[in-house]
Amino acid sequence: MADKASRQPENVPGPWYVDMTCTPCRVCLDEAPNLLKYNDDETYVYFYKQPENEEETAAAQRALDVCPTLAIGNDGE
C-alpha cells in the first residue's frame, strides 16, 4: 500500500499521489499518460494532474492496479 507520508513532492496537490517506492518501471504511464509523467531525471513518476472526471479516475485506478511496487495511492481510500 502506498504511503502518503512519503509521497513524491512533485505530485500536484490532491488525493492521488506516487510515493518514494516508485522504481520507475513505467507501466503506469501506459494507463494514465495524461495524469502521470517522469520527473526530469526519470528516477520516478508523479501525478502532474489530478483526475477530473470518471474516465480519468478510472485511468488513475488502472495505474494503481498495475503498479508492481504499490507506489500509487489515493487519500480517498
Residues that bind ligand SF4 (CB under 6 A): 18, 22-28, 45, 66-67, 69, 71-72
DSSP code of residue 54: H
Q: Nearer Cβ to ligand SF4, position 52 or 65? A: 65
Cα–Cα distance measured from residue 50 to residue 46, given in angstroms and rounded to the nearest whole number: 10
Work out how close the CB of 70 gets to ligand SF4 at its nearest, in angstroms, rounded to a whole number: 8
| Per-residue burial over 21-34, b = 16 or more CB atoms within 10 Å of its CB, e = otherwise | bbebeeebeebbee
Query: Nearest distance from residue 7's CB to ligand SF4, in Å?
Result: 11
| Cβ at position 28, least distance to ligand SF4 in Å | 3
